[in-house]
Structure 1
Amino acid sequence: MPKKCLLVVAHAPSDNTRKLVEAVLRGAASPDIENVATRWVAPLLASPEDVMQADAIILGTTENLGYMSGALKDFFDRCYYPVLEEKQGLPCALYIRAGMDGTGTRRAVESIVTGLRWNWARDPLVLRGEWQDSFVEEAEELGLYMAAGLDSGIF
């Protein structure tokens, strides 16, 4: 059986946000997952071709001035129209590292995802306030959830 591709497009400008990406990848690489290959591509490097090859996507961003990171916005600016028709229904998830409440960031990403007609596999994960070690566990669970869903054919 050919492996399905789980794409992670996540902005990780700090040690803590890098821990989140690594946790997502670790969760997706669980030994229980047999038929899913996961790749992380930084938003400024991610291309429409990366999205076209994906069977599901996890988006990750910091909250910057109540909005998504400029890097993730750049990803959407470059990839929106090239993937719009071909990738409708793409299962997706989002995590936000929010120093405040993440509301504006969540709303902005949800608006773009709605326009792309991607399907939310689960509610966005908003990691609010001061850094907590539990954020890493939550990110790992997100990676496992998405990979397991792909592996089992749920999405």
Structure 2
Amino acid sequence: MKRLSIIYHSQSGAAESLAKAAYLGAKQEDSVEVVLIRAMEADSVQLSSSDGVLFVTPENFGGMSGGLKDYFVRTYYVLLEQQLNIPYALAVSAGNDGTGAVREVERIAQGYPLKKVAEPVIVRGLPDDAGLEACKELGQTMAVGMAFGIY
């Protein structure tokens, strides 16, 4: 069985609601194990044991959250030699336009390396039904793509 990890950071609860929506979407694919975990609780094993990963972050000061950045700092050098090359996607809870957070995560993901398989979902302001649905679809897309060997 393939494993999709959804690694997120949230302080206000907005990004957490996006992560949970993605989790619900991914859980619709029975042949993929889906793990939802806070970035501050995850470690390198979480990523190295996954067949795909979906990161969810709030936009803080125009970039990714400190919690997700901390996750990357703690795992990057540990995993660098493994050349993971697993699929990833990203969702951002943005107070502004979210592009700074996207740029930062994409740059770091290239170094692992991870394969970007979907355009980032950026939800501006408080998550509404449309934003939650977009994240649910992102989670489902990741899980189905993994199940069918598309990525």
TM-score range, shorter chain: over 0.9
Number of the residue aligned with 2:45: 49
| Counterpart Cα distance in 2 of 1:85 and 1:123 | 27
Number of the residue aligned with 1:25: 23
Change (3 A) 1:5 1:130: closer
Corresponding residue to 2:13 among 15, 18, 31 = 15
- Are 1:121 and 2:121 counterparts? no
- Are 1:132 and 2:131 counterparts? no
Q: Which 10-residue stretch deviates more, 84-93 or 60-69?
A: 84-93
Partner amino acid, structure 2, of 1:20: L
Change (3 A) 1:132 1:34: closer
CA contact (8 A) 2:89 2:116 kept: yes
| Counterpart Cα distance in 2 of 1:13 and 1:83 | 27
Q: TM-score, normalised by structure 1?
A: 0.92
Q: CA deviation at 1:126?
A: 1.2
Q: CA deviation at 1:130?
A: 4.8
CA contact (8 A) 1:52 1:87 kept: no
CA contact (8 A) 1:101 1:129 kept: no
Segments of 5+ residues of structure 2 without an aligned counterpart are none
CA contact (8 A) 1:99 1:128 kept: yes
| Counterpart Cα distance in 2 of 1:131 and 1:86 | 36
Q: CA deviation at 1:92?
A: 0.3
CA contact (8 A) 2:48 2:84 kept: no
- RMSD, aligned CA: 1.2
Segments of 5+ residues of structure 1 without an aligned counterpart are none
Q: CA deviation at 1:18?
A: 2.5
SS state at 1:54 partner? coil
| Counterpart Cα distance in 2 of 1:76 and 1:44 | 10
Q: CA deviation at 1:99?
A: 0.8
Q: TM-score, normalised by structure 2?
A: 0.94
SS state at 1:145 partner? helix
SS state at 2:82 partner? coil
CA contact (8 A) 2:14 2:93 kept: no
Change (3 A) 1:39 1:130: closer
Number of the residue aligned with 1:84: 80
Q: CA deviation at 1:110?
A: 0.9
SS state at 1:85 partner? helix
Query: What's the % identity of the aligned pairs?
Result: 36
| Count of residues paired in the alignment | 151
